[in-house]
Structure 1
Amino acid sequence: MFGKPHLRAISKMSTSSIGRKIIRSYAIPLTTKPLLVYGNGNFKEKDTGRIFHMHGINFASNTKMPDMPMQTTHLNAEHCGLYEDGDTVSFVGKPFPLSECYQHISRIKQCGFNTIRFVTTWEAIEHEGPGIYDLEYANYITKMIQMIDEVGGLYVFIDPHQDVWSRFSGGSGAPMWTLYAAGLEPRNFEKTNAAKIHNHASDPQNFTKMVWATNYNKLASETMFTMFFNGTIFTPKANINDVNIETFLQSHFIEAFAFLMQHIKNEIPDVFNSCLLGIESINEPNNGFYGLGDLNEFPHDQQLRLDETPTPIQSMRLGMGIPEEVDIYSLSMTGPTKIDKKWCDPDGIKAWATDEDNHDKHYGFRRSKNWKLGECIFAQHGVWDSSTGQLILPDYFKVHPETGEYLDETKFINGPFLEFWSKFKTRMREIDNNMFLIMQAPVLQIPPNIHNKTKYLDERMMVSIHYYDGMSLMFQKWNKMMNVDTLGIMRGKYFNPIFAIVLGESNIRKSIQKQLKNMAIECYENVGYSIPVVITETGMPFNMDNKKSYDDGNYESQEGANDAIMSALEREQLNFTYWCYNPDNCHQWGDLWNLEDFSIWSKDDLTGFRLNGGNSYDEWLFNNATLRGSSRSDGDIESTNSHSDISINKELIKETTRHLNTPLPGTSSGYELNSFNDLKLDLTDGIRAINAIVRPVPILINGDIKECQFDTKKKTFHLEIIKDRFHESVDSLPDIITIPEYHYNNQNFRIKVSSGVFEIRHNVVSQWIEWDHSMTNDRIVELDIELIENYTNTTSSGCIDSLKAFACGYL
């Protein structure tokens, strides 16, 4: 639990007020309100002009999987109803029951996060069949956003999430019927090597780390992305319900999320002017086969090869039940290494659905007569001969069949992907003209060059990019001695990957910072310097060193790794949403999805803390908070909705108020107490690598941040601001910097400012600084926080000691 906090008001007040707490109603450091885009690509509050810095979290990764029936990727496909219940699943209850919402949202706030990237999937909305939307799920999401708005202090945007297309092809995202619409049979993917699926692993605990991502280069995912973005180019025969498969899939995807956003708008329109920022386009899109030079060879950028790795033509043959000898790969620091071969025999089973499967009738598909089920769609377009296995057109996806133009990923991003973005943008603008629309290009690729192209741009737009440290991600270890420049390799900076090696922790941290900076610059140069860039995914795995931390409780490696990322983001002042928070995380199965383990919180790291319920956020706070300076054991609170607990807490508050409303030594007035502001609630139990995750955050600033640094070991914090003279005035509101009580409590710290005056504030879950430097002439102002030893309470010394503290520039 937190120790006794301090709230002393050294601010713009008369001398007689010093030593007395200023009475204010229950407050939060950030009140969500409409944001505008500042000229240099920053966000600013519309009414105050203060720059808003996004310090967010992905919430939550368990929403990739249905709640009913309960599904995780480690459950056996035959026993968990993976396929049998594919149409009838429900995602209501993911990420958690609404009764748990206040707890998780408040914990996120206490960690200093101010934005939620809300992870949801196409499958969650439209799982039963094309055009059939789950209204109960839409109501659930709407209610959750309403509760987040009630809690306050958190912006939200919707993430239409996918990984390698669908959970039926080894990831998450699209409903099962989309695979049947493409003519595929997902039940046969594992047997035909069309996808590597955790649900089919004989030993799910030892499923190869990160092998799920290799599905981007396997038949199922490549076929779906090729059809979704490029069906009119490469599969013109694939017409369904009177349109090409590209139009069919894209229109259903866009309309599913249009339904969700419109439902939110109809039910709770006010959130569009407060906490709901907008919606992203699609998570981690992929070009499929587009631009592939030779179907006999691996793509030159396919650096991730693990386990059985067929070439593209081998994938097509295996998909038609033809046996192939496939190379087996492992990963080393210098890239993929071939270690063996394996004879893969599907025994005549095909990855393609047949007429006998009756899926067309079930879903109401009307397929064109020249699209033959049970046959590889690419064989039907003359790419190869499925009867002999002969490859006929090895460069089919490299040359545009109509124009003869050579194709590559850059042309994909500036062509088919951009056209999808245009359709998405147009449809979402029909719902709301003011919400932010967030464009995300393929991972680690340069976004489209749309600078000054008004068809694709407007003033309510962001660009999303993702970054993970490849070494830490693949080897699940924080190697402080050696790393590699992941972005440099992707951009072809090095003749040989050996030259991308970075030595020493200091250089590794600088390399990560430089990579993030360069990615942001690429976005600004291609999309425009006035368009905000948001790192919507970055993070570090917690199951490092074979889960050693779960045995000894030492999270030093995870703290070092997460601090390297967090520090880089802070130093470059990049807006971000960290990956991730997962309320179901456990030590055995991590995030319960393909053995990933990124959640900053785990129920297995709890020490037994339990919480009461509540019919409103205020009631929930009263039910669970304690008075500042008091303590309780974790077992004192049971999960309940009893109203008797509220009256008991209120009586305690009244009694404490009576005692505190006596004059303090050296003052002429009493110490008045606001019931909310004199309560505390510690929700950090279960937060992992807490010294790196929980840190000071400048969230609303009058100017541009020149420098921002937090030392996780010394707990020092340094902030430099270049003042924005244009927006500051006598009536301007102060800067807001959250300072977590986990680090700064019991008056164990000193704050120094170069100019201006400040006040330390707190509510039940947050502590922050309000710093007013509007009346100073300094162009650059600085704030420092440091821990101190044997720091005495100036409150009991009265006005004189308080003035002394003020004169010294600290509290």
Structure 2
Amino acid sequence: MTGKIDIRGTTFRDAAQRHVILRGVNLGGDTKVPFAPDGRTHIPTDFAEHRDVSFVGRPAPLAEIDGHLARLRHWGFNCLRLLTTWEAVEHAGPGAYDEAYLDYLAEVCRRAGQHGLHTFVDFHQDAWSRMSGGDGAPGWTFEAAGLDFSKFAETGAAHLMQARYDPAVGGRQDSYPVMSWSGNYARPANGIMWSLFFAGADLAPGLKVEGRNVQTYLQDHYFGAMRAVAERVAHLDHVIGFDTLNEPSSGYIGAALSAPVVRYRGPIWSVLDGLALAAGSTRELPVVAPGQGVVGSERFNEAGTSIWLPGRTDPFRDAGVWDIVDGKPVALIENHFQRVGDREIEINRDYMAPFFRAAGDTIRAVRPDWLLFAEVDPFDLIKGHGFPTDAPDRTVNASHWYDISSLVTKRFAPDYLKHVLTGEERHSPSEIEDGYADEMSRIAAAASVLNGGRGSPTLLGECGIQYDMNGAEAYARWAAGERDPSIWHAQSTALTLMYNAIDRGLLSSTQWNYTVSNGNDPMIGDGWNQEDLSIWSVDQATDPDDPDSGGRGIEGFCRPYVRKAQGTIVSQRFDRESGVFEARVDVDPSIQAPTEIYVPKLQYPDGFGSDVTDGAKTEVGDQTFAVLTTAAGLLSIRVERR
């Protein structure tokens, strides 16, 4: 039976007050796009059908879902970050909820519990919406703001795989470089929408929609969609809470109007460039490459097309923030996005904290015991900006961690890593693992201000690796007939170092991701913008009777760990090469439930031996090892291969 989970200090606790490690996956990568018509991003579309789509079948048709959930449990996972999107719920128009989809999603949640998986719901987004290069918000949100998304691709206001990629050619294409989708955050479609969503009342007070400021209008509908889902799953005890919003962006908030916002690659945009392009100006922008600085320039919006709908205008220009003078854009209020009156804007204090409180109020009006899994702008987190101090009580740090270098380059070597942002070099697996652990520890430390300064558990809401790394070498070897696990050596090694670091920090995590429709085709991958991070692929699923069939790099993520501890976990460590797993638990003898360890047959094919502190009682189950003691103090556990 999968029961409730709560928090105590920096730990998750079950009903028996055992320290719980939540180790799970995101289900799934293609949930970002509609099931019908097929919305995977390699398929060209002008999004004309955006109100008439269906997400029923994402993450999997109900006839197939149990097999996938059983596989995840077999691999030792005990948690799901279950994806949905605002678009999936409210695509037909403001207030028009897709009842068939809500029924479907509730049934997926119910079945997850039957398979012993704690579940929290993630309202997912990347780059605001499918129409602006990502996923998340419905198309009508652009109409509410006054933007014409049909003009985004031609002007460069957004970078769209659906418009730039030719599926007849397939493969990698220069017109849509690998992992280029994130550059959309610097472009005007995203900059405008995020600024209005979080700070419209301050930054565009004159923009009203149905009598409400655009910020209030958009957030009211977002939280309405969240409540609609919450009401469908409120009766399920294994549903432990909701994410606030995946990887929210700051938009233009906090930026000077004329200052260029430099990222590690791609065109360099300023707020003024974005607003000018949106109004119909042609822009020529410098382009940077990792480690090379400026390598050229790129022209945008040669035709001088405005992305504002007929009869709609830029609310910032209307407010006198900028204008066109002698044919050139000019900043008139340079600090408009940095100050409100005499107050300097601080996005977490001024906008994220109220947003978190509204999210908490929304879900807890339906079920008061739910946890709130909170995220801030990941780019702000990288800069050292943490969480607001006045987030709601019982908030979890659900920030994300990736080896950003291997993520964006799709390359990994266990003996050398050069960080694409800092230039730092690491020269061995141990140095790479140490770097991972340090980065994760800083993410965990950001939560120290939560819950009245008591801190919170950290659950890495996303972490994972690209399976088509190193030129998709593993896929070529698979296509050539190789079936040995060694074809996934790079992926398994990267995952091993990642989970070693997670264990060192005693962190919970939900790996990105498990995608039912994943294929070994660089055109397809997870079905979204050529990402390919799924731990399972239909192309590897050759034996329906083998639960491991379809898995990729399984040795890297299917590993022993303490699921629940009779007290508080002090440490845990797994050496994949030797098969030795060691854990220490500070026992609370008042807890009358055992420490439970997942011990996978994959790592212990001939069984395992164990060594525990004297006096402890042990019990071996199906891929589990339980230890119960009546003595307070340190419990030591060692598991090794036979």
**TM-score, length of structure 2 as denominator length:** 0.93
Q: Which residue of 2 aligns with 1:581?
A: 514
Q: Which residue of 1 aligns with 2:635?
A: 781
- Is the aligned partner of 1:543 residue 2:398? no
In 2, Cα distance between equivalents of 1:330 and 1:587? 28
Q: CA deviation at 1:150?
A: 2.4
Q: Which residue of 1 aligns with 2:260?
A: 298
| 1:668-679 alignment runs, 5 A limit | none
Deviations 1:239-265 (CA, angstroms, capped at 9, x unpaired): 110011000001000011111111333
- Is the aligned partner of 1:317 residue 2:276? yes
Q: Secondary structure at the match of 2:154?
A: coil
Q: Which residue of 2 aligns with 1:716?
A: 580
In 2, Cα distance between equivalents of 1:85 and 1:345? 25
- Is the aligned partner of 1:771 residue 2:627? yes
Q: CA deviation at 1:391?
A: 1.1
Q: Secondary structure at the match of 2:13?
A: strand
| 1:699-778 alignment runs, 5 A limit | 699-725=563-589, 727-728=590-591, 732-747=592-607, 749-755=608-614, 756-762=616-622, 767-772=623-628, 774-776=629-631
Q: Secondary structure at the match of 2:354?
A: helix
Task: Kindly name which structure, 1 or 2, has the bigger radius of gyration based on alpha carbons.
Answer: 1
Deviations 1:498-548 (CA, angstroms, capped at 9, x unpaired): 4x3333321111111011112111212455335222211111111111101
Distance 1:45 1:324, change over 3 A: closer
Out of 34, 51, 68, the residue aligned to residue 66 of structure 1 is 34
Q: Which residue of 2 aligns with 1:187?
A: 150
- Is the aligned partner of 1:428 residue 2:363? yes
- Is the aligned partner of 1:121 residue 2:93? no
Q: CA deviation at 1:310?
A: 3.6
Report the AA paired with residue 178 of structure 1.
T
Q: Which residue of 2 aligns with 1:221?
A: 190
In 2, Cα distance between equivalents of 1:133 and 1:158? 17
- Is the aligned partner of 1:329 residue 2:288? yes
Q: CA deviation at 1:761?
A: 0.9
Distance 1:439 1:169, change over 3 A: same
Deviations 1:193-234 (CA, angstroms, capped at 9, x unpaired): 111000011446322122100111100011000000010111
Out of 342, 348, 353, the residue aligned to residue 418 of structure 1 is 353
Q: Report if the CA contact (8 A) 1:41-1:532 is conserved.
A: yes
Report the AA paired with residue 376 of structure 1.
D
Q: CA deviation at 1:305?
A: 2.7
Q: CA deviation at 1:776?
A: 4.1
Report the AA paired with residue 434 of structure 1.
D
Q: Secondary structure at the match of 2:556?
A: helix
Q: Secondary structure at the match of 1:707?
A: strand
Q: Secondary structure at the match of 1:686?
A: coil
Out of 422, 426, 441, the residue aligned to residue 502 of structure 1 is 426
Q: Report if the CA contact (8 A) 1:227-1:245 is conserved.
A: yes
| 1:222-621 alignment runs, 5 A limit | 222-265=191-234, 269=235, 271=236, 274-293=237-256, 295-299=257-261, 302-306=262-266, 308-332=267-291, 337-355=293-311, 373=312, 375-386=313-324, 388-393=327-332, 395-401=334-340, 403-407=341-345, 411-444=346-379, 445=381, 446-450=385-389, 453=390, 456-458=391-393, 460-483=394-417, 497-498=422-423, 500-527=424-451, 528-553=453-478, 554-588=487-521, 589-607=524-542, 609-610=543-544
Q: Report if the CA contact (8 A) 1:537-1:577 is conserved.
A: yes
Q: Quote the RMSD (CA, aligned, Å).
A: 1.9
In 2, Cα distance between equivalents of 1:601 and 1:776? 42
Report the AA paired with residue 437 of structure 1.
L
Report the AA paired with residue 397 of structure 2.
V
Q: CA deviation at 1:398?
A: 4.2
Q: Report if the CA contact (8 A) 1:321-1:346 is conserved.
A: no
Q: Report if the CA contact (8 A) 2:268-2:285 is conserved.
A: yes
Deviations 1:664-711 (CA, angstroms, capped at 9, x unpaired): xxxxxxxxxxxxxxxxxx411111111111111211111222221112
- Is the aligned partner of 1:694 residue 2:558? yes
Q: Report if the CA contact (8 A) 2:253-2:338 is conserved.
A: no
Deviations 1:28-65 (CA, angstroms, capped at 9, x unpaired): xxx31122322x3212222x222111111111111100
Distance 1:776 1:343, change over 3 A: closer
Deviations 1:10-37 (CA, angstroms, capped at 9, x unpaired): xxxxxxxxxxxxxxxxxxxxx3112232
In 2, Cα distance between equivalents of 1:448 and 1:787? 43
Deviations 1:154-199 (CA, angstroms, capped at 9, x unpaired): 1001000000100100000000000111111111101111110000
Q: Secondary structure at the match of 2:412?
A: coil
Q: Report if the CA contact (8 A) 2:606-2:641 is conserved.
A: no
In 1, Cα distance between equivalents of 2:113 and 2:405? 38
In 1, Cα distance between equivalents of 2:293 and 2:33? 33
In 2, Cα distance between equivalents of 1:150 and 1:449? 36
Out of 79, 91, 95, the residue aligned to residue 55 of structure 2 is 91
In 2, Cα distance between equivalents of 1:583 and 1:314? 40
Q: Report if the CA contact (8 A) 1:188-1:351 is conserved.
A: yes
Q: Secondary structure at the match of 1:94?
A: coil
In 1, Cα distance between equivalents of 2:414 and 2:233? 46
Q: Secondary structure at the match of 1:704?
A: strand
Distance 1:91 1:689, change over 3 A: same
In 2, Cα distance between equivalents of 1:404 and 1:209? 43
Q: Secondary structure at the match of 2:230?
A: helix
Gaps of 5+ in 2: 479-486
Q: Which residue of 2 aligns with 1:616?
A: none
Q: Report if the CA contact (8 A) 1:192-1:346 is conserved.
A: yes
In 2, Cα distance between equivalents of 1:484 and 1:244? 46
Distance 1:211 1:718, change over 3 A: same
Pick which of 549-558 and 590-599 moved more.
549-558
Distance 1:399 1:55, change over 3 A: closer
Q: Secondary structure at the match of 1:56?
A: strand
In 2, Cα distance between equivalents of 1:549 and 1:50? 41
Q: Which residue of 1 aligns with 2:484?
A: none
Report the AA paired with residue 40 of structure 2.
T
Q: Report if the CA contact (8 A) 1:66-1:90 is conserved.
A: yes
Q: Which residue of 2 aligns with 1:172?
A: 135
Q: Which residue of 2 aligns with 1:32?
A: 2
In 2, Cα distance between equivalents of 1:514 and 1:348? 47
Report the AA paired with residue 504 of structure 2.
R
Q: Which residue of 1 aligns with 2:181?
A: 212
Q: CA deviation at 1:320?
A: 2.4
**TM-score, length of structure 1 as denominator length:** 0.74
Q: Report if the CA contact (8 A) 1:328-1:340 is conserved.
A: yes
Q: CA deviation at 1:474?
A: 1.7
Report the AA paired with residue 45 of structure 1.
D
